[in-house]
Amino acid sequence: MAITRVQAETILVARRSATMVAAGLAVTYVGTNASLVDPLGFAIRKVGGSTAIIGTVDDADLATIPTDMEDAFLDVAELRLLRNILGNLALVDIKAGPLSESLSQLAKQIGADIDRLQAFIAAEYGLGGITMEADVIRLDFVEHDEDTIDTLL
């Protein structure tokens, strides 16, 4: 049985609710959370599924995810969610006389979380990692005897 929209929302909210709240994103998980449409749709497409309409995600779209890619789907959706959260954060450091608040620390922490999750996804599922291609480089040059040229001049 395929994962449902409610199940996916529940897992993502459980993983990142605190940072979602800080970024002003909805933390509901009833199958209609607008803040999770982009992460869910993006992840579906990245793991080989498809969405009927780019701006919506329903259970039928989630059913297109290969069963062996459900964990990858959730991790990729979390990664996209973190990127969206980082984009929505408008927290900066504040200093007024002797008082200061380092609100940008959250953005730095989310950036570090993104880096770790991206590395994990690349290592675990082979998605989004560095790829290597082999090719041939042809060098077309002529070697001259520099000593002979100097004596001729």
Q: Is residue 70 part of a domain?
A: yes
User: What is the domain count for the chain?
Assistant: 1
Residue 143 lies in a domain: no
Q: Range of 109's domain?
A: 5-125
Residue 58 located in a structural domain: yes
| 106: in domain | yes
Q: Does residue 153 lie within any of the structural domains?
A: no
Q: Which residue has the higher pLDDT, 24 or 75?
A: 75
Does residue 78 lie in a domain region? yes
Using an 8 Å Cβ cutoff, are 20 and 85 in contact?
A: yes
- In degrees and rounded to multiples of 5, residue 90 shows phi and psi of -125, 30
Q: Does any domain span residue 141?
A: no
pLDDT digits (tens, 9 = 90+) for 63-96: 999 999 999 999 999 999 999 999 888 766 666 7
Summarize pLDDT for 25-62 with one digit per residue, the tens.
999 999 999 999 999 999 999 999 999 998 999 999 99
> For residues 36-64, b (16+ Cβ closer than 10 Å) or e, as one string?
bbbbbbbbbbbbebebeeeeebeeebbee
**What is the DSSP annotation of 98-121?**
TEEE-TTHHHHHHHHHHHHHHHHH
β-partners of residue 100 are 95
What pLDDT was estimated at residue 38? 97
Residue 151 within any structural domain of the chain: no
**pLDDT tens figures, 128-150:** 755 555 565 656 666 666 666 55
User: CB count, 10 Å around CB of 25?
Assistant: 20
